[in-house]
């Protein structure tokens, strides 16, 4: 659309204006309207002129947009305050709602600036106070002593607001640094768990490839009547399998770094009774559906998830009763491990996202690696649960 005239541009801007995007929270809108109402009521009570009434509205109403448009808010508030300085009696000094509005707008601006810029901005405003007083004395014949006291109070208010914003900015920076550090630790934990999962998957895949190599090498001796072409094909399959296995072992060396290689077979759900016995507490195991042989990655991951959930229960809810449910569904294995402990809010560490294997982070990584899902949290009556679904094919 070609907007050729200023009127066209204004009409387009009005049409595109979205009140919900322009204003902030309902609380800010209520603050702006409340300050405007109180200021207007005060002006009406002293019989102020209409221009004074308009000035106080201009100085207070912009609080409704001070978070989304802080500079617009502080600019309009400053203009309204300047007009009040030049207003004829009986307005006198700035009404309290105008002072509150100016302080809020200034505080919002200072929080958005850097520390050095904020103090520089405050210094500029303090230096502008004497010319503003001179303007008020000349334009409205105001009492210079009264305005001098107001200027001193305004300077103190500006400096105090800047200090408060500085303290708030520092607290925000500390909270952000803590959040960034926690996120970095979580990412480190997730990466370590992915490497651990990759090592386990390597052991599983390496076993399968070894079986392919062995079967290809023994096929000429176990299948009678093979022709020369078939023998060559089996020989090539065996060579390719051995080469792939060697590449995977080199990859495993990178993944394991300083971690010693595991020589024992990866455990599966068949070893749950041993795991429950090692847990030492009260554990109920319930199997739903007909148990069947699972793909080895699913079997190992299911065992590891149950193992980690039991570890979390032992660490965060010692002595709690734990229930384990293994549900065999047509295309999915669903696990649920729950305890009747105090829940995450009352646990000693405050959450269940740590411990060996990195807690919920590691379990979620395991489920995601197989295209599954995992949820965890506190129960309505206390306790903590972990529920996961692993596709079985």
CATH of the domain at 381: 3.30.565.10
Residue 12 within a domain: yes
Residue 379 within a domain: yes
Same domain (yes/no): 139, 196: no
Residue 61 within a domain: yes
Residue 119 within a domain: yes
Same domain (yes/no): 294, 322: yes
> Coil, strand or helix: which one is 118?
helix
Beta strands 332-339 and 322-328 are antiparallel
Q: State how far the Cα of 274 lies from the Cα of 268, in Å rounded to an integer.
A: 11
Q: Which domain holds residue 220?
A: 189-256
Same domain (yes/no): 303, 197: no
Tokens of 242: 């051995």
Same domain (yes/no): 252, 368: no
Same domain (yes/no): 11, 139: yes
Domain count, the chain: 3
In the sheet with 373-378, reading across from the earlier edge strand, the strands are 283-288, 322-328, 332-339, 384-391, 373-378
- 332 within 8 A of 389, measured Cβ to Cβ: yes
Per-residue pLDDT of the chain (393 residues; tens, 9 = 90+): 455 565 565 555 555 544 444 445 676 677 666 777 776 666 655 556 666 667 777 777 777 777 777 787 777 777 777 777 666 554 555 677 777 777 777 887 787 787 888 888 888 888 877 777 776 666 555 566 666 666 777 778 778 878 888 888 888 888 888 888 888 777 777 777 777 777 676 666 776 777 787 888 888 878 887 888 888 888 888 888 877 777 766 666 655 555 555 555 678 899 999 988 888 778 999 999 999 999 888 998 899 999 989 988 888 888 889 999 999 999 999 999 999 888 765 444 444 444 433 578 888 888 888 889 999 988 777 889 999 999 997
Map tokens 């296995």 to a residue. 245
Give burial (CB, 10 Å; 0-12/13-18/19+) of 54: middle
Question: What is the pTM assigned to this prediction?
Answer: 0.46
Of the residues 256, 278, 307, the one at which a domain ends: 256
Same domain (yes/no): 43, 104: yes
Same domain (yes/no): 18, 164: yes
Same domain (yes/no): 324, 203: no
Residue 261 within a domain: no
- 84 within 8 A of 59, measured Cβ to Cβ: yes
Same domain (yes/no): 230, 293: no
Residue 263 within a domain: no
Residue 264 within a domain: no
Q: State how far the Cα of 383 lies from the Cα of 39, in Å rounded to an integer.
A: 54
Residue 175 within a domain: yes
Same domain (yes/no): 240, 343: no
Of the residues 182, 208, 243, the one at which a domain ends: 182
Of the residues 157, 182, 207, the one at which a domain ends: 182
Same domain (yes/no): 297, 230: no
Same domain (yes/no): 336, 246: no
């Amino acid at each position: 659309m070609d907007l050729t005239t200023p009127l066209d541009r204004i009409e387009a801007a009005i049409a595109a204006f979205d009140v919900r995007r322009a204003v902030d929270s309902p609380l800010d809108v209520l603050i702006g309207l409340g300050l405007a109402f109180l200021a207007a009521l005060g002006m009406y009570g002293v019989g102020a002129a209409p221009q004074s009434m308009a000035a106080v509205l201009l100085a207070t109403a912009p609080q409704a947009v001070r978070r989304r448009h802080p500079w617009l808010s502080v600019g309009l508030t400053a203009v309204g305050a300047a007009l009040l300085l030049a207003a004829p009696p009986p307005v006198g000094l700035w009404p309290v709602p105008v002072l509150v509005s100016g302080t809020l707008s200034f505080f919002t601006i200072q929080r958005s600036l850097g520390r050095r810029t904020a103090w520089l901005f405050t210094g500029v405003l303090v230096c502008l106070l004497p010319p503003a007083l001179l303007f008020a004395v000349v334009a409205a014949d105001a009492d210079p002593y009264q305005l001098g006291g107001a200027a001193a109070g305004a300077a103190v208010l500006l400096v105090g607001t800047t200090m408060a914003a500085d303290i708030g900015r520092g607290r925000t920076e500390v909270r952000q640094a803590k959040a960034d550090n926690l996120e970095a630790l979580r990412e480190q934990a997730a990466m370590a768990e992915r490497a651990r999962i990759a090592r386990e998957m390597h052991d599983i895949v390496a076993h399968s490839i070894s079986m392919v190599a062995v079967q290809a090498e023994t096929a000429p001796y176990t299948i009678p009547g093979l022709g020369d072409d078939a023998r060559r094909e089996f020989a090539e399959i065996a060579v390719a399998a051995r080469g792939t296995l060697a590449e995977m072992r080199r990859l495993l060396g990178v993944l394991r770094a300083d971690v010693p290689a595991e020589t024992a077979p990866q455990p599966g759900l068949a070893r749950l009774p041993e795991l429950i016995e090692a847990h030492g507490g009260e554990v109920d195991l319930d199997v739903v559906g007909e148990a069947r042989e699972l793909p080895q990655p699913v079997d190992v991951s299911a065992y590891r998830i149950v193992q980690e959930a039991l570890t979390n229960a032992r660490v965060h809810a010692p002595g709690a009763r734990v229930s384990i449910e293994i549900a065999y569904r047509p295309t999915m294995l669903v696990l649920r491990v729950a305890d009747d402990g105090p829940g995450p809010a009352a646990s000693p560490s405050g959450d269940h996202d740590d411990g060996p294997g990195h807690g919920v982070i590691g379990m979620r990584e395991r489920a995601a690696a197989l295209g599954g899902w995992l949820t965890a949290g506190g129960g309505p009556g206390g306790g903590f649960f972990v529920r996961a679904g692993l596709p079985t094919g």
